[in-house]
Amino acid sequence: MLDGNGPLDTASIGEQVTERLRSEIISGRLAPGSRLMLDQYKALWNISITPLRDAAKRLEADGLVHIYPRRGIFVAEIDRNALMEVFQLRIALEPLVTELATPTPRRRRWRR
C-alpha cells in the first residue's frame, strides 16, 4: 500500500506530498474508500504532519479524498468521467490563474 519512492526534496515539500498522494490514488495503490493513514506517511517520508494535512485539503478540493472530522480521511469513490472533468477544468483554469497572478512589466513609451 505505501510506496516510499525515495526521500522527499524539502524545497517544495507540500507540493511533493500532494503529488505523491495524488499519484497513489490515481494509480489505484490507494483504493477508493480506503482510509488515508497520515501517520504512516509521516513516518515513511520523515516529515511533519502539517504538509500531509495541507495535501489532504488540496486533494479534497480536487475531489480525490473526503475528510470527515474525528473519523479520518478517505479516498473518494469517483468514476473516471468525474475525474476527467476535474482535470479538464484545472487544465483550463490554471493558465488563466497564472497569468493573473504574474505581474506584467510596464510597457515603455517611445519618445520621438
| Percent of the chain surpassing pLDDT 90 | 52
pLDDT at 87: 83
What is d(CA 63, CA 85) in angstroms, rounded to the nearest whole number? 11
- Predicted structure pTM score: 0.62
What is d(CA 57, CA 65) in angstroms, rounded to the nearest whole number? 8
Written as one letter, the residue type at 93 is: L
**CB–CB of 57/67 below 8 Å?**
yes
What phi and psi, each to the nearest 5 degrees, are found at residue 62? -80, -5
Task: Please check the confidence at residue 8 and state whether its pLDDT lies above 60.
Answer: no
Reading the block at residue 105, the C-alpha cell is: 512589466
- CATH code of the region 10-77: 1.10.10.10
Spans of all domains in the chain: 10-77
Q: How confident is the model at residue 78 (pLDDT cuts 50, 70, 90)?
A: confident
Q: Could you read off the pLDDT of 30-49 as tens digits, one per residue?
A: 999 999 999 999 999 999 99
